[in-house]
Amino acid sequence: DAGVTQSPTHLIKTRGQQVTLRCSPKSGHDTVSWYQQALGQGPQFIFQYYEEEERQRGNFPDRFSGHQFPNYSSELNVNALLLGDSALYLCASSFGGGASRGKTQYFGPGTRLLVL
């Protein structure tokens, strides 16, 4: 039973560029959440996708966008990269919308993004 997978594992970009990160949820899960984790901090919620729609969004600018595909996999896109976007980007999957969202999440290994 495959857990949550993310690609790529590491990425180096320069300011102003765009990046796309990918996530495949744990088998049987239909909800994907994205988090940004800066060094020494806890994960910060970016947004959550369920039934191919963005259901909830954290306090992140519109430069951060996403998508969920019919197979429940998801992408995170970040445009016009800033130095401050350097962080570990985590994907977490769970099952079911509504009140079960966010109750028990399984995290992927993350993508470490460095913006120069």
The site for other proteins (CB under 8 A) is made up of 4, 33, 40-45, 48, 56, 58, 90, 92, 98-110
- At residue 20, what are phi and psi to the nearest 5 degrees? -125, 125
Going by C-alpha positions, the residue among 69, 87, 81 that lies closest to residue 25 is 69
Cis before residue 8, ω within 30 degrees of 0?
yes
Name the residue nearer to other proteins (CB basis): 70 or 103.
Answer: 103
Residue owning tokens 């998801």: 74
| Least gap, CB of 16 to other proteins (angstroms) | 28
Name the residue nearer to other proteins (CB basis): 15 or 37.
Answer: 37
- Contact residues for 71 (Cβ-Cβ < 8 A; gap 6+): none
| Least gap, CB of 17 to other proteins (angstroms) | 24
| Least gap, CB of 21 to other proteins (angstroms) | 14
Name the residue nearer to other proteins (CB basis): 47 or 72.
Answer: 47
